[in-house]
Amino acid sequence: MKIFLLLFLFISPAVYSQSAKEELFKRDLAAVVEEMELIYEYDELLQSYAHFRILDKSNIERTENLPDSMQISESFNRKLGGGDFSRENFRKKIERKEEEHTARMIAIIKKYGFPSIKRISQYTDQKFRNSDFSPFVLLQNAPRSYWKKIKRLMRKEYKAGRISQCSYGFLLWHLSLEKDIDHMLDNGYVMETRNGVPYFEPTCE
């Protein structure tokens, strides 16, 4: 009886915490999704400006649909016309925003658990403003100084069942300097070959 009571006391706070997070997520869903969509669109604009010096969304889509060689030419011509987009400017203006957005995503995950597309769709069928929107991408763009913190946090989310093993493995691979493929092979991916070209195939549901 004492063993059962101790086990109950050990488990119940964790169970309550997960349940409370889910209720909180369900309550604040609209605001959380709206904020993440804004961060996603902002990050997309920043990345496009870094590569092409474009902030107008219609021009971004036009440029991204160009062949690779023309994208390079477009980027080169814009930089010639407006001066070099220096590493210092990128670090100060763009990475500062990426750090701010990453810190906000970490705060959201700590409070609500990871807000995956699958989890969001359990509570709403509303379409996203951008069909490419993905909360997961917001972590992939994280500055290197946040990588360790994100990997620790997402390990907890994986154990809690809020991200798949494959998503966890891909994130470990993406947030590593050496790009060790074992991160993926140990977490739900297998190596396949198509037309002589190797690729990773996820086996997770």
40 and 105, same domain (yes or no): yes
Percent of the chain with pLDDT strictly greater than 70: 71
Does residue 10 lie in a domain region? no
Q: Using an 8 Å Cβ cutoff, are 2 and 93 in contact?
A: no
Does residue 13 lie in a domain region? no
147 and 176, same domain (yes or no): no
Q: Whole domain around residue 176: which residue ranges?
A: 164-205
Domains contained in the chain, number: 2
- The model's pLDDT over 15-49, given as tens digits with 9 standing for 90+, comes to 546 788 999 999 999 999 999 999 998 888 877 76
Q: What distance in Å separates the CA atoms of residue 48 and residue 57, rounded to the nearest whole number?
A: 9
Res 14 pLDDT > 60: no
SS3 20: helix
User: What torsion do the CA atoms of 26, 31, 35, 37 make, to the nearest 10 degrees?
Assistant: 70
51 pLDDT band, cuts 50/70/90, is low
Beta bridge partners of 155: none
Q: Is the dihedral of CA 7, 10, 14, 16 positive or negative?
A: positive
Does residue 12 lie in a domain region? no
Q: What distance in Å separates the CA atoms of residue 168 and residue 144, rounded to the nearest whole number?
A: 17
89 pLDDT band, cuts 50/70/90, is low
Q: Using an 8 Å Cβ cutoff, are 154 and 114 in contact?
A: yes
**Which tokens go with 50?**
């870094």
Q: Which residue has the higher pLDDT, 81 or 22?
A: 22
Give the type of residue at 70: M
146 and 193, same domain (yes or no): no
65 and 81, same domain (yes or no): yes
136 and 35, same domain (yes or no): yes
pLDDT of 80 reads: 39
